[in-house]
Amino acid sequence: MRSSTTSARRMSRLDLFIRRMTAQRAAIEHAVEVIRDMPGSILEVGLGKGRTFDHLRLCCPDRRIWVFDRHVAAHRDAIPDRETLFLGEFAETVPAAYEKLGQTAALVHADFGSDDPRTTRELALWLGPWLARFTVSNGLVLSDQPLEAEGLEPVALPPGVEPGSYFAYRRRVAP
Ligand SMILES: C[S@@+](CC[C@H](N)C(=O)[O-])C[C@H]1O[C@@H](n2cnc3c(N)ncnc32)[C@H](O)[C@@H]1O
């Protein structure tokens, strides 16, 4: 019997990719609106091909965007200026960047998931508290992975973004 292409079927790799990209763009554009009047920089944790970095800089031309990755493999039109790039393993660059930047980010966008679920989960556990530290009160953290950290509370994603396809948090105001 031929399988149906329209009724309940698993999501293909293409479906999942489109879902992730759609969620990413909607979450970023929504977050940019929320922080519109909030001073602060942006952190892009995971440059990759530079797609979301490029989108962020188009949406926020007046904000400083600090970028993290172990290497530069972005499209040549989406390579950050060297002085805004923390190049190396997050384990080294994230604590070093905190020494330099402190709690100054209005928005953190973290996209670091890989094909290795265990490494991704461990990285998410480690990164969550660091990302919270960088974020100003009421600032936002977006991530492709669920995060857990003191001071971060989940917030709703914009309409149309399927739950579980992206994750958004607000930095609680310090008591
Ligand atoms: C999914 S890609 C980011 C895609 C990017 N947002 C884009 O739009 O093109 C994840 C990136 O995180 C980087 N990365 C993952 N784990 C890392 C680590 N422990 N230290 C440094 N970079 C890491 C990878 O090198 C990769 O470029």
CB within 8 Å of 81: residues ≥ 6 apart: none
Which tokens sit at 159?
């309409």
50 lines ligand 1 (CB under 6 A): yes
Burial track 23-38 (b if 16+ CB lie within 10 A, e otherwise):
bbbbbbebbbebbeee
Q: β-strand 135-143 against 85-87: which pairing, if any?
A: unpaired
Which tokens sit at 52?
């979301």
48 lines ligand 1 (CB under 6 A): yes
Tokens 């989940």 -> residue:
154
pLDDT (mean) for 82-108: 98
Superfamily of domain 13-171: Vaccinia Virus protein VP39 (3.40.50.150)
Q: Is the pLDDT of residue 4 over 60?
A: no
- pLDDT band of residue 160 (cuts 50, 70, 90) is confident
Residue nearest to atom 20 of ligand 1 (CA): 89
Q: What is the pLDDT of residues 20-52, one digit of tens each?
A: 999 999 999 999 999 999 999 999 999 999 999
Residue nearest to atom 16 of ligand 1 (CA): 112
